[in-house]
Structure 1
Amino acid sequence: MPTTFNRRNNAVKTILRFMKPYKRLCFFTVLVMVLDVAGGLLIPTITADMINAGVSGRNMDYLIRGGALMLAITLIASLGGLLGSYLSADLSSKIGRDMRNSIYDQSLKFSASDFEQFGTGSMITRTLNDVNIIQQGIVWFIQMVLPVPAVCIIGIVMAFSIDSKMGFLMIGATIFIILLAVFVTQKASLIFDRLQKFLDRMNVVLRENVTGVRVIRAFNKENYEEKRMRKSFEDYAKSAIQANRLFAGLESIALLAINLCIVCILWLGGNRIGSGYMEIGDITALTQYAIMILFYIVMAQMVIILIPRAMICVQRISDVLHLAPEIKDGFSSLDKNDSQASDIIRFQNASFRFADTSENTLSNLTFSCRKGQTTAIIGSTGSGKSTIAKLMLRFHDVSSGSILLDGKDIRELTQRELRKHISYVPQKAWLFSGTIADNLRYGNPHATEQEMRHALSISQSDFVNDLPDGLHTPVSQGGTNFSGGQKQRLSIARALMQKAGLYIFDDSFSALDFKTDAALRKALVSEIKEAAVLIIAQRISTIMNAEQIIVLEEGQIVGIGTHDFLMKTCSVYQDIAKSQMKGDTVHE
């Protein structure tokens, strides 16, 4: 992970990057807010002048003109404040939108190991909560912090124009509250850093409790999970209480400073009036200047306390955006002539090791998946079968050796180009919320109803025809309203919608009964006879008719050939077959 200095530097670059496209909007928003504040500061001057005019006995017309001017300035300042609020909200919403889009786009580039650096709960927090806090910080900063320099400078200049001693009093009160704000901000930064981490933890625990509720009930772990959840809530609450104490202390001291400043103005001002250096109306103007200056500083302090939290959130988002993805796109594409090769995909002495391990998961793999042939991979749990499929799709990159698609190293291709030639059914069947038709169109966005029904027929998903809404039947998130076998068949149908050179079935028949398994494999033979097929399976009955069977043991190929050949030459394959045999026959 980057150092604290680098994280802060990256955070500043990140916020400037998102504000750059809207620099005109930023400038206009700040200008409107400053002009609004400047207009508000004219009111005390006019008020003082009218009071002094009344004391000196000027005519009523002068007072009416002054009142009309005050009304006009008030209306203009009110409209300016309204416009400034709208512009700052518009700016923050656009920046928030761009941030969320950037986080999402960046997450799509991550490999599994990249994503694990943050975790699902933290990524959700960063995308939703962190961006929301940044948006609030932008609005509050523009409305409450940026006008402060203008208020202080104009207010103090006005105070000096009335009386120099009053001007120095204003400076002293302003410096005191600013120093208080700096001190509190430093303490708040540490608290909010912990607060966001506790929020991450709350999301993780809550997500685990919701998704794993059946397991929790099955093992009677409700009390244990309740304690774990309470612990995460209590940790968050302690930090939140510390932050609220800072708010309370700051507000109390700031209000005390404002009241003391007003008392000093009245006391010193009375003496200065008695000495003839000031007029009665000047006291009113100075009091209003002091209230405005100190009010804006107090409000800015409230916001500044939250700015460290917003900056922590920017740093967390910056960490995501500045993480260099493990998988980098190549720049090549496949020529049409390349697709004429018989070897669709080929492993050449390919080895793979996860970043956090010292031993290879896969070692020195050399084999080909050929057009018109079925290649099967079988082996014990943890032998690396599914990792081979992930390497083909570049979810990971090989540590040594190479993988060739139509004769070209897949690392030289763009990921979009690579995956355009591969259709994949994952080990864990996953369906998206929507309808069955929506899920099938993941494989082909322009598929007709006839094409979808054909894919469903090949995948033995005839149960769809018996559903009241057919293709338009709603699918819940993850496909939880379908059985395991139904989800697998729908996932296979989705893969068949994409016309590809290589079809990968990663243990995609495990939830099917033997009859459905056999019927599906028979239908696949004619449907994708021009493509290469890779089947990863646990059951020998699923793969025994494959032209090439690869036997894996601890990440190495210990046998390769047909079923009959391996039954004679490969002891590992023989052991797997014997464990699945009924009498002398493999289960069919």
Structure 2
Amino acid sequence: MKLMLRFIKPHWKLCAVTMLMLIIDVTGGLYIPTLAAEMMNQGVLGSSFETLLNTGMKMAIGSFVAGLCAVIGGYTCATLTARIGKDMRVALYESSLKLSVHEFRQFGTASITTRTVSDITNIQTAFISFMQMVVPVPVICVIALVLSFRLDTQIGIVLLIAVFIILLLASFIINSASPLFKRLQKLLDSMSTVLLENITGVRVIRAFNNELREQERLNVSFATYADTSIKANRKFANLDGLSFFCINFVIITVFWLSGGRIAAGHFQIGDITAVIEYAYLILFFIMMAQMVILTLPRALECCNRIQNVLDYSPEISDPASAQPGSAERSRSDVLVFQNVSFQFPDAEKDTLSNLSFTCRRGETTAIIGGTGSGKSTIASMILRFHDVTEGAIFLNGHDIRQMRQEDLRNQLAYVQQKAILFSGTIAENLRYGKPDATEEELLHAVRVSQLDGLIRSLPDGLNSFVAQGGTNFSGGQRQRLSIARALVKKPELYLFDDSFSALDFKTDAALRKALTPETKDAAVLIIAQRVSSIRHAQQIIVLNEGTIVGIGTHDQLISNCPVYLEIYESQTKEVQDA
């Protein structure tokens, strides 16, 4: 409820118009049988033409107004629901972007996707049904009961008891079904996770001939979801049966009581029609409300799941008074690590310990180490995907924790090992960091990235199509496109996280040679596995189990760092053996 009020509040005028139109619509539905009953009581044959004409005109006007309000109410309700859904998705998306890598993994990609698409769709469906079928129920019940009591107290009491019993049954069944719907949403997350794993990992599944095993996993997930859904729907099927019983019982009771009341002179023939119509309208709307109630427990659980993301306080946030994020091209020390340590929340010891080094403008700094030594974690801390647990990181003299994340990342260009491209064109991907880049800038970045041959071979050049994830390009081409995208941005610091791994030695050497003049006004930090990619660097940092065991040039480390020498000899031997 709190979540819905939050998103309804900006559209309260539209919500008020919708409710007013729907209330007028149902009120008109009660006005017409009341007029019909009055006409029957007077006797149609005994009524004057003027009386019949006036009553007919009133009924026609009432029908027209009710119908018009129903159309307007339906339109405004659909518009309101669409706007609320849009606002929810935007808010959920923005909140998920604020989560750190660790926090995002806690929710899970499949869960965030389900909440953004399926959960909000469930809320929209429940909301529009609630507005059209549930909101008018109190109004129609009150008005119809008042009119029934005016006609006859006993019949009014019968209607009141029937409404009370149906509402009591509905409340009981909702409470008993609510845990089932909570479980359904968790099972939907689980089902989405298994399905996503099977789709994205289809090549691995086929390679290991595990189709039957994965099919069994999916069958178990689908069957569990289906069984739980059937249990929940059975409860509402029972509610429907009991409600129909109450409707028929009320109608029989009304006819039975009406006979005696008419004979006693307390009731008229036309009043029977009015009371039956009131009963039908009340119980019809309650029945429709029960169908909506079927979606409410699931919608409430969906609201809770979305609220959990929106209310989550990210561990990494912008400071209240951020330092200026402007670049200082005159400063030689671009990036400084000062006694930096880092420990994951669920780890027992530090992943990185007491790191201190400086990346200078116009120089290339490289980081190398064995698997699990913490190289990529350094990149994550520079980008503030994680915050340091001890020490500080400075960019152009500013502690990055005191900068806005937007200002920080505007001064960085990040190229990761698994190159990510977006559906669209090559030009759109290259302009991702600099939307106003000219075509000359794009072509220059392409040439530096050793992609000019590829671009010339494509019929549409820079306007050639890029599939989702860049799957229509090879791994090396995707990496070079990502490097070109970084060059277009012209940042303060280039951060290459093992982004040359898919390149052959010839292309690697040509690309590194072309990069040198392009990065002379910025600092370059390369995280690599291959010594051949970093031996030209002015400063190489060797990591071992999260600590620095050597800093220097390639020649210096060969002579005084056993860990670096071991890495170099192992890779040299592999090349010789090959």
Normalised by the shorter chain, which TM-score bucket? over 0.9
Deviations, residues 248-307 of structure 1 (Å, cap 9, x unaligned)? 211111111001100000000111001111011111111011111111111112212311
Deviations, residues 2-23 of structure 1 (Å, cap 9, x unaligned)? xxxxxxxxxx332211111011
Deviation at 1:166, TM superposition (A): 0.9
* Worse overlay, 27-36 or 415-424: 27-36
Q: Does 1:332 align with 2:314?
A: no
Q: Given the superposition, is the C-alpha separation of residues 340 and 519 from structure 1 closer, same or farther in structure 2, using an over 3 Å criterion?
A: same
- Cα distance in 1 for partners of 2:382, 2:362 equals 18
Match of 2:76 among 87, 95, 105: 87
In structure 2, give the amino acid aligned to 1:446: D
Q: Does 1:41 align with 2:30?
A: yes
TM (norm. structure 1) is: 0.96
- Cα distance in 1 for partners of 2:476, 2:79 equals 49
Deviation at 1:564, TM superposition (A): 0.9
Match of 1:481 among 461, 468, 472: 472
Q: Does 1:32 align with 2:29?
A: no
Aligned to 1:284: 273
In structure 1, give the amino acid aligned to 2:529: Q
Q: Given the superposition, is the C-alpha separation of residues 217 and 398 from structure 1 closer, same or farther in structure 2, using an over 3 Å criterion?
A: same
1:89-168, aligned counterparts within 5 Å? 89-168=78-157
**Is the CA contact (8 Å cut-off) linking 1:375 and 1:549 kept in structure 2?**
yes
Aligned to 2:423: 433
- Cα distance in 2 for partners of 1:264, 1:295 equals 17
**Is the CA contact (8 Å cut-off) linking 1:443 and 1:496 kept in structure 2?**
no
- Cα distance in 1 for partners of 2:47, 2:532 equals 108
- Cα distance in 2 for partners of 1:468, 1:399 equals 51
Q: Does 1:181 align with 2:170?
A: yes
Match of 1:355 among 345, 353, 363: 345
Aligned to 1:220: 209
Aligned to 2:302: 313
- Cα distance in 1 for partners of 2:563, 2:353 equals 17
Deviations, residues 429-486 of structure 1 (Å, cap 9, x unaligned)? 1111111111101122111111111101111112221112211111111111111111
Aligned to 1:249: 238
**Is the CA contact (8 Å cut-off) linking 2:367 and 2:528 kept in structure 1?**
yes
- Cα distance in 1 for partners of 2:418, 2:546 equals 21
- Cα distance in 2 for partners of 1:461, 1:56 equals 93
* Worse overlay, 338-347 or 487-496: 338-347
Aligned to 1:4: none
Deviation at 1:336, TM superposition (A): 5.5
Aligned to 1:554: 545
- Cα distance in 2 for partners of 1:445, 1:154 equals 61
Aligned to 2:199: 210
* Worse overlay, 371-380 or 47-56: 47-56
Q: Secondary structure at the match of 1:232?
A: helix
- Cα distance in 1 for partners of 2:103, 2:152 equals 64
Deviation at 1:338, TM superposition (A): 4.3
Aligned to 2:532: 541
Deviations, residues 508-567 of structure 1 (Å, cap 9, x unaligned)? 111111111111111111111111100111111111111100000000001111111111
- Cα distance in 2 for partners of 1:386, 1:55 equals 89
Deviation at 1:427, TM superposition (A): 1.9
Q: Does 1:570 align with 2:561?
A: yes
- Cα distance in 2 for partners of 1:48, 1:501 equals 83
Q: Does 1:420 align with 2:399?
A: no
Aligned to 1:389: 379
Deviation at 1:56, TM superposition (A): 7.8
**Is the CA contact (8 Å cut-off) linking 1:338 and 1:407 kept in structure 2?**
no
- Cα distance in 1 for partners of 2:568, 2:110 equals 42
1:225-304, aligned counterparts within 5 Å? 225-304=214-293
Q: Secondary structure at the match of 2:473?
A: coil
In structure 2, give the amino acid aligned to 1:147: P
Aligned to 1:526: 517
In structure 2, give the amino acid aligned to 1:15: M
- Cα distance in 1 for partners of 2:476, 2:451 equals 9
**Is the CA contact (8 Å cut-off) linking 2:18 and 2:73 kept in structure 1?**
yes
Q: Given the superposition, is the C-alpha separation of residues 348 and 479 from structure 1 closer, same or farther in structure 2, using an over 3 Å criterion?
A: same
Q: Does 1:495 align with 2:495?
A: no
**Is the CA contact (8 Å cut-off) linking 1:333 and 1:417 kept in structure 2?**
no
- Cα distance in 2 for partners of 1:75, 1:117 equals 55
Q: Secondary structure at the match of 2:537?
A: coil
Match of 1:369 among 349, 359, 381: 359
**Is the CA contact (8 Å cut-off) linking 2:492 and 2:522 kept in structure 1?**
yes
Q: Secondary structure at the match of 2:107?
A: coil
Aligned to 1:8: none
**Is the CA contact (8 Å cut-off) linking 1:126 and 1:317 kept in structure 2?**
yes
Aligned to 2:54: 65
Q: Secondary structure at the match of 1:468?
A: coil
- Cα distance in 2 for partners of 1:332, 1:372 equals 27
Q: Secondary structure at the match of 1:357?
A: coil
TM (norm. structure 2) is: 0.97
Q: Given the superposition, is the C-alpha separation of residues 443 and 148 from structure 1 closer, same or farther in structure 2, using an over 3 Å criterion?
A: same
Deviations, residues 373-414 of structure 1 (Å, cap 9, x unaligned)? 100000001100111011101011001110001111000000
Q: Secondary structure at the match of 2:435?
A: coil
In structure 1, give the amino acid aligned to 2:199: V
Match of 1:448 among 438, 453, 460: 438
- Cα distance in 2 for partners of 1:493, 1:333 equals 30
**Is the CA contact (8 Å cut-off) linking 1:377 and 1:534 kept in structure 2?**
yes
The percent of aligned pairs where both chains have the same amino acid is: 54
Uncovered stretches (5+) of structure 1, i.e. residues with no partner: 1-11
Aligned to 2:459: 468
Deviations, residues 123-170 of structure 1 (Å, cap 9, x unaligned)? 111101111111111111111111111111111110111111111111
- Cα distance in 1 for partners of 2:426, 2:111 equals 31
**Is the CA contact (8 Å cut-off) linking 2:417 and 2:501 kept in structure 1?**
no
- Cα distance in 2 for partners of 1:326, 1:332 equals 17
Q: Given the superposition, is the C-alpha separation of residues 169 and 451 from structure 1 closer, same or farther in structure 2, using an over 3 Å criterion?
A: same
RMSD: 1.6
Deviation at 1:575, TM superposition (A): 0.3
Uncovered stretches (5+) of structure 2, i.e. residues with no partner: none
- Cα distance in 2 for partners of 1:90, 1:475 equals 35
Q: Secondary structure at the match of 1:350?
A: strand
Q: Secondary structure at the match of 1:510?
A: coil
Q: Given the superposition, is the C-alpha separation of residues 586 and 504 from structure 1 closer, same or farther in structure 2, using an over 3 Å criterion?
A: farther
Q: Secondary structure at the match of 1:363?
A: strand
Deviation at 1:335, TM superposition (A): 6.5
**Is the CA contact (8 Å cut-off) linking 1:346 and 1:404 kept in structure 2?**
yes
Deviation at 1:55, TM superposition (A): 6.5
- Cα distance in 2 for partners of 1:323, 1:215 equals 35
Aligned to 1:504: 495
